[in-house]
Every structure is written in C-alpha cells, then in structure tokens.
Amino acid sequence: MSDISIGALDEQTIERVIEQGLGVRAKRDARKWVALRLALAASLRLPTPPDESLDHIEDRKGGNSYHLEQVTGKGLRHEDGEPRQDYDDTACALLSIFHQMNLFDDYAAYRRFLQRHIRRGLREFRTGWRDSHDFHEFLFQELFSGESRHAVDDGLVDRLSGALEEIGITAETRRVVEGPRLTRFFLYLPSADDLAPITRGLGKLGHILGLGAQNAFLTHTDEPKVIALDIPRRQDTWSTVMGYQLADWADKYEGDFLLPVWPGVDVIGNPFVLDLAVAPHLLVGGTTGSGKSVCLNALIVSLLRGPSRERLQLCLIDPKRVEFEPYRRLEGLFGGEVITEAQEARAVLLQLVVEMETRTQLLAQVGARDLAEAHQHGVMLDVLRIVVVVEELADLLMQDEDAEMPLVRLAGKARASGIHLVLATQRPDAATFSGLLRSNIPSRIALTVQKASESKIILDETGADHLTGQGDMLIKTAQGTTRVHGVKVSTDDIASAISRYQRNG
Ligand SMILES: Nc1ncnc2c1ncn2[C@@H]1O[C@H](COP(=O)(O)OP(=O)(O)O)[C@@H](O)[C@H]1O
Ligand SMILES: [Mg+2]
C-alpha cells in the first residue's frame, strides 16, 4: 500500500512545478519528490495546522500515490548499506514539533499529517503562483518572506526630520509607531501656524523622501498640538496580516455587532471591525490585482466564524466561475450551490426579492419597521440573515443586465429584511454602479485604483489612487473613512473556516 495519496489537481500541480517552474523535462518521474518536498516546506511555513478536509480526495481519478521512499527517502540505502538521503526521521521530527505530538509512535498519524501538509502546499502553489511569475521568485517569497520579515527602516526618523526642516516646519517627534506598512510619527507642532504648511507640504515631503506615487497622510489626534503623520515604508519592511489572525479575532469576539467583519488592520496594526448588519451593504472596488477577491474572502471567513453563524445564510454569485471554487463544499447556500451562470443568478436574486417581501409583510403584521425593532417588541421572527456576495458585478450585469433590478430592490430594504449585499467590481463606472444602486449602498471599500477619478466613483473622495496595492484599502462607513491593510486570507484559512462552520453550526 502506498503512503501518500493525492488528487488529479495535485498531480497536475506537481507536473507544472517541475516542468514550468523548475524547467526540468528529463526523468520527470524521478523528480517528483522535489515538488513533494517543496510543498511540504511551503505548508510547514504556515502557522496553522492543515485542514482535515485534505484527507478526503475528491479527484482520485488522475491522482497518484507515493511511497515514503519517494517522499522522504525513507529506507534509501547505498549499496554498502549506508543510509542515503533518508530524511524520514527529519520529516517526522518536524511534523511532531508542528503538531506537538510524538508521531514517531503513531505511524498512521504521521502519514496522515504528511499527506495533509503536502496537499496543502500543492494547493498553495496552485492558487498562489501565477504563470507570469518566475517560480523561483514565488518560492522565495513563499518560503522566506511573510510576517516575520519585519525589518525596521532605521534611517527614516532622520530623513523625516531633515525633510520637515527643508519645508520650513519645526516639529518635535513625540512617538513613532511601526504599523504593518506605514510608520506613524506623532508630531508635536509648537506653533499652530505650522499646521497649514505641513498639510500643503505633503507632496513636497513625499518628493524629498522619495515616496513615489504613494503619499504621506496626516491624521488628527486627541492630544493637544499633536498630529499623526503616516509615511509609507519600503516594501521589504512590510508585514503581512495573516489569515489566522482574523480567525483569532472572530473566534474571540465578544462585542454586540450582529455581523462583524474584519477586512484587516488599521495603520498602526489594530484589527478593524465593522458591522455588516449596520453597513448594511458594501461595494468593494479596485483595479485587477488590487486584492478584491482576497478581501471578499476575509469578509466571508469573518461571517462563517462570527457570532451570528448559526443564523446566517450565504448566497455566493461568481460569474467568473473560479474565484468561489473553495466554497463549493459549503453546505446550506441560498440557491443550493455557488451560482456561476448569469441566468441562474437572476433567478436566485428574484427569489431573494420574494423572500424580502415575505419578511416585510411579516414585520408589518407585528407592527415593526425592521428585524431589530421586532426583536425589541419581543417578537422573534424566525429568519436567517442572508448575505449575498457577488464576485464581479460588471461581469454579471454584462451577461444579464436584468440582474440589476432585483439588486436595486434588495439594496433598498436591507434593514427591514436582513438581506445584505456585498458587491465587488473592478469597473465601478456609472454603467456598473448606477445611481439607484449607489444611493442605497453607502458603505464602500476602495482598494488601489489608477486614477483619482476612479477613487471618487467608489468613495466619493480621492485617496485610493495613492494606496500601496496588495490589499491596502480605504473603508468608508457612516463613521468616516479609515485606511486599512487587508488580511491575506489563504485557501487554507477558508477551508478551516468551512470545516469549523459545518462541525459546529
Ligand atoms: N491583504 C493582502 N496582503 C498581501 N497581499 C495581498 C493581499 N490581498 C491581495 N494580495 C496579493 O494581491 C494578489 C491579487 O489579489 P486578488 O484578491 O486576486 O486581486 P483582485 O481580485 O483585485 O484582482 C494576491 O494574489 C496576493 O498576492
Ligand atoms: Mg479577483
């Protein structure tokens, strides 16, 4: 019997890694262990254990099995009997440490964990590595970068005081706080007259400091005469906000938000939470590659782990067909499954409109304007909160413009009906995000855009054109606009959120 089994997609990933990634053609079979070990290494880099759903192989046909001899070199010997490249004990020790249990005594568990890690690593390669990227560069990022890559930009304090002097401002640095991507300087301005020049001088400051297209930002503080100046740092000093942090915030949440979601952290690294039940809808806009899909995943994982998960139903619409792939095994979706056909999407949206009207009538019968008011009157309406997530609104409307009407109607009555919309688009123009939809979706998330005019379409203000990309965002709610660095949610984070959700309800 072989020790490790993998599915067809995994096997294809191995071949892609070897042929396209490593550029090795000859003796292909003999090289597969390289890909298997790289996948193991990539998985061991993640701080959370791989999800148990990896035990189940959906696509066995076209998959493959491997003996430990191939994977870890178990039992390999030179002709004289000396062990040769036998890393089996090493692998077993690494996994024992990772899982905090002695796997030397439990061969079945060792094999199972090894398979989970290898399959997770291959999945990371599959979802994270784009053909346009050099594989070695990707691998380097995957194996050696990430949250631990936090090197402080030492010279920045000096360069900033030089730059302030150069634009004629006297300021005293009170405190410096290193956020994930920006450094916040709390500047004490002895003369209030310096406030206007520093605001006007931000462009010059950026120029002197060499910030490129990014800007320095000013925020008021509640300390007298102290202003916060945020300076973006070099990319090699950034730290990633990891998916397990989001899991932790959601699992330990004790506040009273009904549908808390955590898109990321603020400039100084504190988790940023907003209540989707209050929002009550969200538009997520940004250029291709700015991090919209990752952001949607953060919102969905928040909901699956959040306090209302037992009273929650998701409706996932993905006209691009691939982005919501990880949610295929999620049970109880509105519409029965992830919706990928535009026709089907419209049918499901119309069904939601009917649901909305039923709910509105129920509320009218008990004399309440919305679910919360009914609750206050002591009437518990037995309805679920429904969150509809559309991955690429423009694609949906292009394929079926009639899908807009039900969206507009749903947008108008969220508070009463408990049905919320999260709409993502890379083209937030008037055609996609029309006046009717706009006015009923006041909460917006803008990821990086190219032009100030695009920022205005999403947020009604500029700023998103000066973000640093890769999940950097501005979030606008009734409370104002906040800069947030997004959580980098991986397929693995999604898988464990789903497993937990289905286990506990
Ligand atoms: N919060 C984040 N932190 C770090 N990198 C991110 C983050 N969000 C996105 N990225 C990077 O940007 C890439 C593109 O993100 P994606 O969500 O697919 O963009 P979009 O959907 O806007 O095209 C991701 O593959 C990832 O490498
Ligand atoms: Mg996307």
Structure-token match 């994982």, residue found: 301
290 C-alpha to ligand 1 centroid (Å): 6
487 C-alpha to ligand 1 centroid (Å): 9
The answer on pLDDT for 409 being more than 80 is yes
452 C-alpha to ligand 2 centroid (Å): 21
Of the chain, the percentage scoring pLDDT greater than 70 comes to 96
Residue nearest to atom 26 of ligand 1 (CA): 470
Task: Indicate whether 139 and 285 sit together in one domain.
Answer: no
Task: Indicate whether 342 and 452 sit together in one domain.
Answer: yes
Phi and psi, residue 283, nearest 5°: -105, 130
489 C-alpha to ligand 1 centroid (Å): 9
Q: Which carries the bigger pLDDT value, residue 381 or residue 55?
A: 55
Looking at 66-70, 99-103, 139-143, which range is the least confident one?
Answer: 139-143
Of 237, 254, 275, which one is at a domain's C-terminal end? 237
Report the domain count for the chain: 3
From 294, 324, 389, 467, give the residue whose CB has the most ligand 1 atoms within 8 Å, as the site to mutate. Answer: 294
DSSP secondary structure of 463-474: -GGGS-STTEEE
Task: Indicate whether 410 and 322 sit together in one domain.
Answer: yes
- How far apart (Å, rounded) are the C-alpha atoms in residues 287 and 304? 27
Buried b vs exposed e over 54-73: b needs ≥16 C-beta within 10 Å?
A: beebeeeeebeebebebbbb
Kindly give the number of the ligand 1 atom that is closest to the alpha carbon of 264.
1
Looking up residue 437, the CATH number of its domain turns out to be: 3.40.50.300
471 C-alpha to ligand 1 centroid (Å): 6
Examine residue 476 and state whether it is found in any structural domain, yes or no: yes
Looking at 41-50, 94-103, 136-145, which range is the least confident one?
Answer: 136-145
Examine residue 149 and state whether it is found in any structural domain, yes or no: no
Which helix (H) or strand (E) segment holds residue 4: the answer is strand 4-6
Q: Which carries the bigger pLDDT value, residue 104 or residue 215?
A: 104
Residue nearest to atom 6 of ligand 1 (CA): 470
Task: Indicate whether 488 and 429 sit together in one domain.
Answer: yes
- Band the pLDDT of 148: cuts 50, 70, 90: very low
Residue nearest to atom 24 of ligand 1 (CA): 291
The answer on pLDDT for 147 being more than 80 is no
Residue nearest to atom 12 of ligand 1 (CA): 470
Q: What separation in angstroms does the CA of 286 have from each of 237, 243, 404, 421, 465?
A: 24, 21, 20, 17, 10
Amino acid 505: pLDDT: 56
Which helix (H) or strand (E) segment holds residue 480: the answer is strand 480-488
246-291 pLDDT, tens digit each:
999 999 999 999 999 999 999 999 999 999 999 999 999 999 999 9
The whole domain housing 186 covers 156-237
Average pLDDT on 400-406 reads 91
304-351 pLDDT, tens digit each:
999 999 999 999 999 988 899 999 999 999 999 999 999 999 999 999
Amino acid 481: pLDDT: 93
Closest ligand to the CA of 265 = 1
291 C-alpha to ligand 2 centroid (Å): 7
114 C-alpha to ligand 1 centroid (Å): 28
Amino acid 149: pLDDT: 42
470 C-alpha to ligand 1 centroid (Å): 5
Of 237, 254, 288, which one is at a domain's C-terminal end? 237
The answer on pLDDT for 233 being more than 70 is yes
Task: Indicate whether 129 and 247 sit together in one domain.
Answer: no
Structure-token match 């089907």, residue found: 344
Residue nearest to atom 25 of ligand 1 (CA): 128
Q: What separation in angstroms does the CA of 273 have from each of 217, 267, 385?
A: 22, 13, 18
Of 122, 144, 166, which one is at a domain's C-terminal end? 144
110-131 pLDDT, tens digit each:
999 999 999 999 998 988 887 7
Q: Which residues pair with 185 in a beta bridge?
A: 176, 229
Which residues have C-beta under 5 Å from ligand 2, the single-atom ion?
292-293
Closest CA to 297 of 239, 243, 238, 241: 243
Amino acid 83: pLDDT: 67
Examine residue 57 and state whether it is found in any structural domain, yes or no: yes
Burial class from Cβ neighbours inside 10 Å (0-12, 13-18, 19+) for residue 476 reads: buried
To the nearest 10°, report the CA torsion of 211, 215, 216, 222.
Answer: -160
The SS3 assignment for 392 reads coil
Closest ligand to the CA of 318 = 2
- Band the pLDDT of 150: cuts 50, 70, 90: very low
Q: How far is CA 220 from the centre of its chain?
A: 29
Examine residue 503 and state whether it is found in any structural domain, yes or no: no
Task: Indicate whether 454 and 366 sit together in one domain.
Answer: yes
365-389 pLDDT, tens digit each:
888 887 777 777 777 677 899 999 9
pTM of the model: 0.81
- Band the pLDDT of 503: cuts 50, 70, 90: confident
Amino acid 117: pLDDT: 96
Amino acid 145: pLDDT: 63
DSSP secondary structure of 228-283: EEEEEPPGGG---EEHHHHHHHHHT--S--SSEEEEEEETTS-EEEEETTTS--EE
Kindly give the number of the ligand 1 atom that is closest to the alpha carbon of 297.
17
Q: Which carries the bigger pLDDT value, residue 428 or residue 501?
A: 501
Residue nearest to atom 27 of ligand 1 (CA): 470
* Residue 30: both structure tokens together: 């003999």
The answer on pLDDT for 174 being more than 50 is yes
Task: Indicate whether 101 and 173 sit together in one domain.
Answer: no
From 129, 181, 470, give the residue whose CB has the most ligand 1 atoms within 8 Å, as the site to mutate. Answer: 470
The answer on pLDDT for 486 being more than 90 is yes
In this structure, the residues whose C-beta lies within 6 A of any atom of ligand 1 are: 240, 286, 288-294, 470-471, 486-488
Burial class from Cβ neighbours inside 10 Å (0-12, 13-18, 19+) for residue 236 reads: exposed
202 C-alpha to ligand 2 centroid (Å): 32
Amino acid 427: pLDDT: 83
Amino acid 28: pLDDT: 57
Residue nearest to atom 3 of ligand 1 (CA): 488
Which helix (H) or strand (E) segment holds residue 416: the answer is helix 414-417
Average pLDDT on 386-397 reads 95
Q: Which carries the bigger pLDDT value, residue 505 or residue 215?
A: 215
Examine residue 504 and state whether it is found in any structural domain, yes or no: no
Closest ligand to the CA of 238 = 1
- Distance in Å from the first CA to the final CA of the chain: 36
Residue nearest to atom 15 of ligand 1 (CA): 291
Amino acid 220: pLDDT: 87
Task: Indicate whether 224 and 303 sit together in one domain.
Answer: no
Residue nearest to atom 5 of ligand 1 (CA): 470
Amino acid 249: pLDDT: 96
365 C-alpha to ligand 1 centroid (Å): 46
- How far apart (Å, rounded) are the C-alpha atoms in residues 347 and 402? 10
Task: Indicate whether 273 and 248 sit together in one domain.
Answer: yes
Looking up residue 190, the CATH number of its domain turns out to be: 3.30.980.40
The answer on pLDDT for 2 being more than 90 is no
Amino acid 77: pLDDT: 77
Average pLDDT on 168-185 reads 89
Residue nearest to atom 16 of ligand 1 (CA): 291
Average pLDDT of every residue of the chain: 89
Kindly give the number of the ligand 1 atom that is closest to the alpha carbon of 426.
22
Task: Indicate whether 192 and 293 sit together in one domain.
Answer: no
Task: Indicate whether 122 and 163 sit together in one domain.
Answer: no
